[in-house]
């Protein structure tokens, strides 16, 4: 029988998280509309050397909540969780929306960050068209629910041909997206629409940073990764071949290796 995930009450919500291994904490934050299962490959590859912690952000996965949130409040939840379980300072990383949360985390709690991982994400805020797209998706989820959002997003989430070449991975990803509660999708779209532009503050990020991007990422493309690389003083960029936006699932081994090599040097 699967044992239940551990959880902590922080900031008025119950945050569930998976934890494996010992040593330097490596905290990985999932993207939208996903949950911590996207890190399964990194957990098994890294837990022999690191304490790998993968929370379900408020409202996602098993961290049930109906309260609205901002990306900054999600960062505060993660900080409070890590304080509660004695996992600070840490190497913190995020995929896409998880990366937006990481920017808030490092802005608000820089002393908690030993190293930063920015995976298939970007520093820039939504453009006016991007904000309109969020509004449309809010209407879509209200009218047709989470599966309609999954169907709309799926073609951009993974590399072309993934559906043909990796059907079980695509099925798993779709299942995670469809399971995301509609109200959480609405709250997350609002939070992402209203998020800060972090380009001006990239220079103030002191932590060593690893940027990872799939070479076929259609949501947060290589150009966005290059903006982060140019702005963050101590940053390196790894481009993952044969991957779209979901590099931790699409090319899990390469992503785990890049994270492991980076984290080993920060010991």
- Please give the residue ranges that form the binding site for ligand MLT (CB under 6 A): 31-32, 96-97, 192, 219, 245
Beta bridge partners of 53: 19, 27
Least Å from the CB of residue 84 to ligand MLT: 25
Give the residue with the Cβ less far from ligand MLT, 106 or 188: 188
Give the residue with the Cβ less far from ligand MLT, 96 or 256: 96
Least Å from the CB of residue 192 to ligand MLT: 5
Give the residue with the Cβ less far from ligand MLT, 32 or 69: 32
Taking phi over 0 as left and psi of -120 to 50 as alpha, with beta for the rest, 61 belongs to left
Element (H, E) at 180: none
- The answer to whether the beta carbons of residues 94 and 106 sit under 8 Å apart is no
Give the residue with the Cβ less far from ligand MLT, 88 or 224: 224
Separation of alpha carbons 21 and 46, rounded Å: 8
Could you tell me how many helices (H) and strands (E) the chain has, helices first?
Answer: 11, 8
- The answer to whether the beta carbons of residues 103 and 123 sit under 8 Å apart is yes
- The answer to whether the beta carbons of residues 55 and 27 sit under 8 Å apart is yes
């Amino acid at each position: 029988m699967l044992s239940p995930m551990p959880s902590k009450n922080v900031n008025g919500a119950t945050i569930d998280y998976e934890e494996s291994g010992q040593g330097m904490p490596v905290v990985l934050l999932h993207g939208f509309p996903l949950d911590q299962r996207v890190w399964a490959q990194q957990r098994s590859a890294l837990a022999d050397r690191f304490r790998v912690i993968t929370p379900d952000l408020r409202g996602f996965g098993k961290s049930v909540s109906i309260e609205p949130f901002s990306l900054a409040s999600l960062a505060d939840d993660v900080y409070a969780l890590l304080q509660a379980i004695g996992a600070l300072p840490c190497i913190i990383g995020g995929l896409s929306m998880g990366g937006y949360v990481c920017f808030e985390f490092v802005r608000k709690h820089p002393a908690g960050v030993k190293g930063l991982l920015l995976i298939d994400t970007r520093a820039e805020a939504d453009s006016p068209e991007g904000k309109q797209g969020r509004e449309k998706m809010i209407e879509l989820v209200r009218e047709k629910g989470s599966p309609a959002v999954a169907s709309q997003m799926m073609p951009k989430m993974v590399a072309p041909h993934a559906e043909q070449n990796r059907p079980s991975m695509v099925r798993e990803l779709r299942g995670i997206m469809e399971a995301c509660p509609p109200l959480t999708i609405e709250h997350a779209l609002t939070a992402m629409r209203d998020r800060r532009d972090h380009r001006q503050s990239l220079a103030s990020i002191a932590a060593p940073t690893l940027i990872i991007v799939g070479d076929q990422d259609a949501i947060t493309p290589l150009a966005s990764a290059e903006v982060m690389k140019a702005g963050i003083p101590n940053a390196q960029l790894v481009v993952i071949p044969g991957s779209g936006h979901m590099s931790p699932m699409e090319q899990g081994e390469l992503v785990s290796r890049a994270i492991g090599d980076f984290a080993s040097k920060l010991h």
